[in-house]
Every structure is written in structure tokens, then in C-alpha cells.
Structure 1
Amino acid sequence: MISFGNINPYIFFLSILLQSWLCVNSSGNGTEVYNASFKTDTLTGKVVSITDGDTFKLLTQDSILHRVRLANIDCPEKKQPFSKSAKQFVSDAIFGKEVTITVLSKDRNKRLIANVKYGKGLILNEELLKHGYAWHFVKYSDDPSLQQLEDAARAAKLGLWQDPNPIPPWEWRADRKK
């Protein structure tokens, strides 16, 4: 029988289990999910994949792959009108390029929720609103400057605002669940 001396065997076992988990999750194989402590963190890396208008994959210099979701906006879903246009806008802006993200939180899908800076100081989240490829996601943001960008694009009938009755993605998703 193994003797643990004065150490509680359950505590010993839990510490071994925790150490094993830490080793597996810090192996550097590029598949880890960033463990944001929900303070503002900044990461820089190359955009290696565009999922849709508001989601992409970022490969950082330490070879960690992160899934990133743009904060405070919502682009059309894949089968909605203007989804391809939004994705193409994002691809033209950042695919294969270095960007800096400011992480605000992590969602239930373990994506980093972030603002994305690219080019000469442009903010992708704002540019999508400005060109009419996204809605201001008021469920998660009450930023008046973002609402002003959406309102200006809507008034100018840019992007998705060419459609007389565009359906916000959150309503479209809810209808699909029924």
C-alpha cells in the first residue's frame, strides 16, 4: 500500500489530475483556447481563416489558434442576404494579414469576443457597421457611436440596408429554431 504520510490521498490525487490537465492544455500544439481572465487582453497575430462576417481564426506568434467573434455587432448568417458580402468585406480587410485584437470576454462557444484593429488603425467592428454589413448588437452593447454608424449606413442604403426589410440575424436564428 502506498503511504502518503501526512498528505490526504484525495488532495494528492486532485493535484496530480490538475497538473496533468495543465500539461495537456499548454502543449503548444495550436489548438488551445485562450483563457481570458476577462480583463482586457490584447493579442496580435495573422488571420488564417474567415468563418463568416463576424468570426475568424487568428494564429498568434506563439502558434496558438484562437477563434475570434467581433464584439458588439452581428453580421448576416450564412443563408441570409448579404452574408457573402459581409464575409468578403472581412476577407478583403484582414485575411492573411496581421491584426491586433482587444479581448473583452469569451462566449459560450469559447470564442474570444473582441474589437479588431487592422491596417492603419481601422477598427473592423466599426467598418462593418459603416459599410452596412452588420447590425449594432444592442443586446450586448449600448455604445451610441456604434448605433450612429449603423444609422448612417441605413440612411445611405449601404450594404444590407439596400434591402427594404432586412431581418436581423438574432431574429433569423430564432425563427430557425422554431
Structure 2
Amino acid sequence: MKIKLMKSTYFKYLCILVLCVSFSSVEKLPHEFFAKVIGIKDGDTIEVLYNKEPIIIRLAHIDCPEKKQPFGQKAKQFVSDFCFDKEVKIITKGKFDRYRRLIAVVQYKNKILNKQLVANGYALHFKKYSKDTTYNILEKEARFYKKGMWSQKELIEPWLFRKRKVSKKAHQ
């Protein structure tokens, strides 16, 4: 029993040490920095290279359709056209989501990617995590002009789509 407890404690300390080492450079990020976009995960997640370190960025204030949803691939393509292989400005409060992605706003040539996605109908204002009313206004305009995903007759919000997907897996 004592050996099992020691192994368990040793394993916990080892995990904490690995986490601290792997995130130490990311944790000390400035609130604004420039980085090169090296990957597009989906409409609201990109990968950048900063000081030779890859960082996964989750776009703040928004939620894009999932890849398997209508307009999910178009959102990803929009992001790619906007910033792939370009030097962008990352603006963050230094917060990370549960997947250890840095939550940030991405700017390129005085345009904010997060806002451009909403304005073009490729993202919704993620009101659960954002109180910035400018995103609300952009979403209402995109809806009025039936841009992007708003051209559909029926829209399933990405957070509800993910919830349905999880509940289907639970019932299998």
C-alpha cells in the first residue's frame, strides 16, 4: 500500500513538473505581441510561432461553426485567407481556456480577424464569454443582410451542435 501511494505521489509531481516546463515560456507572454501564423485549426483557432515556440490561439469573443457544420469549412478558409503565413498582432489578457489555448484578438493590417468573422457571417458573438457589444452589433448586421451562415433557413449554434454531439456519444 505504501509503495503504491509513493508511486502515485511521484507520478503527480512528475506531471506537475512536465506541465510547468512545457508552459513556462507561454505563461510569460506580453499582452500584445507579433507572431507568424503557421496553422489554421478551424474558424476560431489558429497556431502562431512566437520566439520559435508554437502557441495555439483561441479567438476571443466569437464561436465559429464546427468543421462538420454548414459554413465551418468556409470559416476556416476565411481565416486562412485573412492571415495564414502572415505576421499578425496578438492582443490578449493572458487567459487560457480549458484546452490550454491562449484567448486573444488577432489583428492584421488594422483589421481584427475576430470582428471580420462575425461581420461576414462566419462566427457568432459568444455572449457566454464576451460582453463586448460591438460583436453583437456586427452579428445583427450580418444576420440582417443574410451574410454567411445567416443565409441558411435554420441555424444551429456551434455550442448547441457540440452539446448534441456529446449527448449522442453518451447514448451509444
TM-score range, shorter chain: 0.7 to 0.9
Gaps of 5+ in 1: 1-16
1:140 equivalent in structure 2: 129
* Distance in 1, Cα, partners of 2:81 & 2:25: 26
- How many positions carry a matched residue from both structures? 151
1:157 equivalent in structure 2: 146
Q: TM-score, normalised by structure 2?
A: 0.81
**Do structure 1's residue 34 and structure 2's residue 23 form an aligned pair?**
no
* Distance in 2, Cα, partners of 1:169 & 1:33: 32
Q: Does the CA-based 8 Å contact 1:66-1:112 persist in structure 2?
A: yes
2:33 equivalent in structure 1: 43
* Distance in 2, Cα, partners of 1:98 & 1:87: 18
Q: CA deviation at 1:143?
A: 1.6
* Distance in 2, Cα, partners of 1:164 & 1:36: 45
Q: 1:75 aligns with which of 64, 68, 71?
A: 64
**Do structure 1's residue 57 and structure 2's residue 47 form an aligned pair?**
yes
Q: Which amino acid aligns with 1:91?
A: S
Q: Which amino acid aligns with 2:145?
A: A
Q: 2:78 aligns with which of 85, 89, 95?
A: 89
Q: Does the CA-based 8 Å contact 1:32-1:66 persist in structure 2?
A: no
Deviations 1:11-54 (A, max 9, x none): xxxxxx89xx59x827xxxx8761158xx711211100000000
Q: 1:25 aligns with which of 9, 15, 21?
A: 21
Q: TM-score, normalised by structure 1?
A: 0.79
Which entry has the higher C-alpha Rg, 1 or 2?
A: 1
Q: Does the CA-based 8 Å contact 1:76-1:86 persist in structure 2?
A: yes
* Distance in 2, Cα, partners of 1:150 & 1:90: 17
1:98 equivalent in structure 2: 87
Give the ranges of 4+ consecutive aligned residues of structure 1 lying more than 3 Å apart after TM superposition: none
Specify which structure has the higher proportion of helix. Answer: 2
Q: Which amino acid aligns with 1:171?
A: L
Percent identity over paired residues = 45
Gaps of 5+ in 2: 1-12, 168-172
Q: Does the CA-based 8 Å contact 1:129-1:150 persist in structure 2?
A: yes
Deviations 1:116-151 (A, max 9, x none): 111x21000000000000000000112211100000
1:9 equivalent in structure 2: none
CA-based RMSD: 2.2
